[in-house]
């Protein structure tokens, strides 16, 4: 029986990873931890514990008490929120990752830590961005993502901890709201389209970013953790991608379903600058070759599913 712990489990990814893990691993126990309570009840097989990932003693105690085999370390402060509190972002993202890696080392646990397109910067080749390339990010979030990738590599090489990770693009989902990132517009636009029929977009019409639908992101994490260790060369920072979106492109796809949908632009210079420093498209050849990564949702499939699921939730009074 698998025993899994998630940090940051009440966030955009964690909220959906808890049931996804229970579905994939029959009879698993999932300990969902966060500094805030989950917004809804947890499925059978999961339990919530309050855990600040920067508290190294508490991390080690919880991981040891539950005999945790695998940790999905999701707790972090994202890019836009990070620019409002850079020192706190360094503390949560770096001291939290160190505490989790130390607890994993003491307990023999494997660790999944997501990195991001934010780990790249203006001097990185943007389209396509190679797996191994220049990483000089300009946000505190990006700095912590590069440092986190290196720290996870170090814990594997120096202490033999089974660390693995993905560089996620922006993630689009309908269950939990995104947590203060630069790619959040691509989630907000769906809610606004259904609720108001119009969206005021803070990103430029033709600014292109890599994106992925949440079911693919969850499957990628679990498939990477299940991959035979001997097949992995990169381990902690696999580029993965599914589609490339601009506000204009997503608007056109939304109009296939909601022809009257309107978009206006009021660009936020801070988030625009961050977006322009990130890749336009990741090259995910290494992930495809080393552990068989392939996305299933393209833009059309994403839009169709997002709208249908969000409409269901709105009808049930659970979102909008
Ligand atoms: P989120 O902001 O939705 O959730 C993060 C969670 O961490 C929140 O529930 C928050 O309460 C919790 N948290 C914050 N400080 C904490 C602390 N000290 N101790 C414990 N928990 C704490 O973020 P997310 O979108 O779910 O992202 C999860 C991970 O995936 C992060 O590492 C993020 O960098 C990475 N990622 C996300 C995306 C995306 O588009 N969502 C893209 C690339 C990478
Ligand atoms: C953000 O915009 O900060 C995140 C990310 C791409 O890491 N969604």
- Does residue 260 form part of some domain? yes
Specify the pLDDT at position 101. Answer: 98
Answer yes or no: is 291 within a domain: no
Q: Do 186 and 118 reside in the same domain of the chain?
A: no
In this structure, the answer to whether residues 30 and 110 fall within a common structural domain is yes
305 located within any domain = yes
Vertex 274 angle, CA 239 and 126, to 5°: 40
Active-site positions read 141
Residue 287 lies in a domain: no
Residues 191, 80 within the same domain: no
Contact 241 CB / ligand 2 (< 6 Å):
no
What is the distance in A from the centroid of ligand 2 to the CA of 45?
A: 29
**pLDDT of 319 higher than 80:** no
225 & 276 share domain: no
Ligand at shortest distance from the CA of 79: 2
User: Closest ligand 2 atom, CA of 116?
Assistant: 7
Here the CATH number for the domain that contains residue 100 is 3.40.50.720
Range of the domain at 187: 171-211+242-280+297-318
**pLDDT tens digits, residue range 105-162?**
999 999 999 999 999 999 999 999 999 999 999 999 999 999 999 999 999 999 999 9
* Residue whose token pair is 């689009």: 172
Based on the fold, state whether residues 74 and 120 are members of the same structural domain.
Answer: yes
Q: What are the tens digits of pLDDT across the range 149-196? A: 999 999 999 999 999 999 999 999 999 999 999 999 999 999 999 999
Q: Ligand 2 mean position to 101 CA, how many Å? A: 22
pLDDT (average), residues 100-106: 98
Residue 285 included in any domain: no
25 shares a domain with 164: yes
Which of 6, 8, 214, when mutated, tests ligand 1's pocket best, judged by the most ligand atoms within 8 Å of its CB?
Answer: 8
Sole residue written with tokens 């992101």 = 217
Same domain, 259 and 121: no
Residues 189 and 306 in one domain: yes
What's the CA gap between 237 and 217, in Å, rounded? Answer: 14
- pTM here is 0.98
Provide the pLDDT for residue 143: 98
Instruction: Give the span between the Cα atoms of 57 and 77, in whole angstroms.
Output: 21
Query: Do 86 and 181 have their domain in common?
Result: no
Distance from residue 55's CA to the centre of ligand 1 (Å): 16
Vertex 91: Cα angle to 86 and 93 (nearest 5): 90
Residues 80 and 142 in one domain: yes
User: What pLDDT score does 275 carry?
Assistant: 98
Nearest-CA residue for atom 6 of ligand 1: 8
Residue 251 falls inside a structural domain: yes
Q: What is the DSSP string of 206-265?
A: T--EEEEEHHHHHHHHHHHHHS-GGG-SS-S-EE---EEE-HHHHHHHHHTT-TT-EEEE
Ligand 1 pocket test, candidate residues 48, 115, 179, most atoms within 8 A of CB: 179
Edge-first strand listing for the sheet containing 170-172 = 170-172, 209-213, 243-245
Q: Are residues 246 and 104 in the same domain?
A: no
We report the CATH number of the domain holding residue 193 as 3.90.25
Q: Is residue 292 part of a domain?
A: no
Q: Which residues, at least 6 apart from 316, have a Cβ–Cβ distance to it below 8 Å?
A: none
pLDDT at 320 exceeding the cut of 70: no
Structural tokens at position 211: 């994106």
* 110 and 163 in a common domain: yes
- Domain count within the chain: 2
Question: How do residues 231-252 score in pLDDT, each as one tens digit?
Answer: 999 999 999 999 999 999 999 9
Strands 243-245 and 209-213: antiparallel
- Can you list the positions of beta strands (E) in 151-192? 163-164, 166-168, 170-172
Ligand closest to 51 (CA) is: 1
Do the domain assignments include residue 290?
no
């Amino acid at each position: 029986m698998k025993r899994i712990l998630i940090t940051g489990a009440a966030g955009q990814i964690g909220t959906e990873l808890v049931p996804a893990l229970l579905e994939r691993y029959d009879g698993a126990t999932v300990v969902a931890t966060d500094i805030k309570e989950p917004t809804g009840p947890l499925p059978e097989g999961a339990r919530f514990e309050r855990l600040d990932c920067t508290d190294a003693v508490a991390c080690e105690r919880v991981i040891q008490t539950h005999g945790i085999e695998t940790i999905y370390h999701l707790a972090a402060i994202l890019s836009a929120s990070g620019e409002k509190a850079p020192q706190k972002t360094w503390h949560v993202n770096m001291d939290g990752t160190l505490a989790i890696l130390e607890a994993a080392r003491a307990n023999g646990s494997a660790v999944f830590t997501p990195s991001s397109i934010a780990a790249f910067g203006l001097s990185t080749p943007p389209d396509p961005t190679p797996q191994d390339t220049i990483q000089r990010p300009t946000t505190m979030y990006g700095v912590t993502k590069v440092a986190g990738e290196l720290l996870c590599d170090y814990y594997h090489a120096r202490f033999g901890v089974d660390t693995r990770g993905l560089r996620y693009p922006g993630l689009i989902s309908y269950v939990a709201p995104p947590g203060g990132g630069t790619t959040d517009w691509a989630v907000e636009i769906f809610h606004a389209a259904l609720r108001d029929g119009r969206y005021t977009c803070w990103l430029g019409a033709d600014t292109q970013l890599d994106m992925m639908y949440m079911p693919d992101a969850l499957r990628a994490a679990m498939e990477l953790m299940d991959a035979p260790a001997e097949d992995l060369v990169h381990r902690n920072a696999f580029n993965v991608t599914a589609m490339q979106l601009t506000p204009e492109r997503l608007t056109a796809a939304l109009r296939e379903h909601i022809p009257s949908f309107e978009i206006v632009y009021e660009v936020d210079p801070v988030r625009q600058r961050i977006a322009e420093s990130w890749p336009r498209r990741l090259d995910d050849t290494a992930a495809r070759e080393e552990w068989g990564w392939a996305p299933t949702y393209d833009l059309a499939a994403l839009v169709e599913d997002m709208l249908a699921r969000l409409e269901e939730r709105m009808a049930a009074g659970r979102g909008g």
